[in-house]
Amino acid sequence: MTRDLRRLRRTPALRALVRETRLHPSQLVWPVFVTEVEDTPSEVPSMPGVHRWPVDALGTVAERANDAGLGGLLLFGIPAEKDEWGSQASAEHGVAQRGVGALKAAGYDGVVATDVCLCEYTDHGHCGLLDNGGALRHRDTCARLAATAVSLAKAGADLVAPSAAVDGMVAAIRTGLDAAGLTETGILAYSVKYASAYYGPFRDAAGGAPRFGDRRLHQVDPANVREAMREHAEDVAQGADLLMVKPGLAYLDVVRATRDAFPDMPLAVYNVSGEYSVVKAAAASGWIDERLVVLETLTGFRRAGADVIITYHAEDAARWLGS
């Protein structure tokens, strides 16, 4: 007797009944840029459909995210003033801190996570503090990142998400949060952040491109997987509550390896700006069906083992999933 696998593909209802991987809006996190440079929402030229939002417009973001049933928002701040210390990153009334308050006041129901990095806040565009030769000062950078995380947690952030990819930052942040009595604030660690070419549009959106040099000394070589597992292990030991692989689409093998190596840890994947913009450009030219490609891509992240997907497609994907 032969088994015909087509029997369970015959109708949409049968296919849905035996579907192995589920994708739901509650698993999606929408990255949001909040700015004090502009007074009205402005579209990012290299990321069609993505906007920079002034603080007083975040009520609209909260309403749209609630309507879509999204699991969370990830906030990135764009300050009006920058300096070599990234002082505004930890300012009590900084743009991201006020953004968190605005989302909470607007009644957003999901998780509010905040980026913790200095690249948007420093005048040199690097993720931390530099010495006179332009090298990263690790210990001082970790202290600044911890102060930033504490400030954002005090503002009401549910999760802090350190993206600087600096050794020791998770331990410094956990220590800082606990010392401030913020023991319930979780850390979404950018535990594996590759030195990727896919980040270009984000740097356009956030104004965080380095003025010189690059970040290859503190981001993972795109050719390496075993190194990535060591990075995860370091962040788990330092107190990370969630792990992340970034970018996503070119690193599905790393997502799967992470799930296998850390089966009990919640795992996020970041569907980054370059991945988003490539899809948008191809769809605008009529070369692909945007809806089908996006949902297939996000399902691929889930199939590889991700629990949470950070994606600029979040609002559209939630609508498509509900249609």
Strand partners, 35: 54, 78
The Cβ of residue 131 has, within 10 Å, a number of other Cβ atoms equal to: 9
Cα angle 124, 126, 127 (rounded to 5 degrees) comes to 140
Query: What is the rounded distance in angstroms from the CA atom of residue 11 to the CA atom of residue 77?
Result: 47
CB distance 152 to 96 below 8 Å: yes
111 token code pair:
């998780």
Going by C-alpha positions, the residue among 111, 171, 112 that lies closest to residue 141 is: 171
| C-alpha distances out from residue 47 to 74, 229, 232, 296, 301, Å | 17, 31, 30, 20, 21
- Clarify whether 246 is annotated catalytic: yes
- CA dist 175 and 183 (Å) reads 9
At 267, phi and psi to the nearest 5?
-125, 125
Catalytic residue among 104, 154, 193, 280: 193
Of the listed 104, 154, 246, 280, which one is catalytic? 246
193 is catalytic: yes
C-beta neighbour count of 24 within 10 angstroms: 12
CA separation for the pair 91, 96 (Å, rounded): 9
Give me the active site residues, please: 193, 246
